[in-house]
Chain A
């Protein structure tokens, strides 16, 4: 059974820092991996989707990498801003669009 773990569970940084969020999964047979953002009491917003054949995806200040063989993905946020404060979730798609989610990393960026 696929299990997804995210470390750290919470992270607090000053504005302007570059930071890395980690996601690991136990079964490397995945179709893709997604990173989502969730603001308190809100739904999820898709940030990046990496297909299993890809190594990384970039969108603005965000860069996500995927190492399927080792079961790891990282989300790199450059020059963090207070508006980046949210919970970040990764999810792996093992088939039929059935996503398995991690428990998330709660990020706080202080001005």
Chain B
């Protein structure tokens, strides 16, 4: 059963804490992405990775960090430097970072700062 899994589904964080969101795919996709979605807004790109051990900043990378040690995994850490982290986080993957390929999305993680 191929697809993208994200965990946890809901996450609560106290101010000043770092938290890590998990994203795993078994689609054998090369590229992976992290997006943030706020109410009434479109998705915004945080980070993306086209290959293992390499990643690039998206439009809103400040306060976030990622790693890509394995092809299947692309965890996102929300650091205490992110001033407004409450949002819905979506992970996606695509076959390669070519221009004709669709992105497949996971079910998302909703992060709430208490």
For the residues of A in contact with B, the DSSP-based class is strand
Binds A, one of B11-19, B64-72, B78-86, B92-100: B92-100
CB distance from A26 to the nearest CB of B (A): 14
CA distance A75 to B49 in the complex (A): 30
CB distance from A100 to the nearest CB of B (A): 8
CA distance A49 to B102 in the complex (A): 7
Is A102 in contact with B42, judged by CB distance below 8 angstroms?
yes
> Total A-B pairs in contact (CB under 8 Å)?
64
**Which residues of chain A come closer than 8 Å to B105, judged between CB atoms?**
36, 43-46
CA distance A97 to B100 in the complex (A): 8
CB distance from A45 to the nearest CB of B (A): 7
CB distance from B27 to the nearest CB of A (A): 13
**Which residues of chain B come closer than 8 Å to A93, judged between CB atoms?**
99
Q: Point out residues on A near B: beta carbons under 8 Å.
A: 4, 31-32, 34, 36, 41-46, 49, 51, 89, 91, 93, 95-104
Q: Point out residues on B near A: beta carbons under 8 Å.
A: 4, 6, 31, 33, 40-45, 48, 50, 58, 88, 90, 92, 94, 97-108, 110
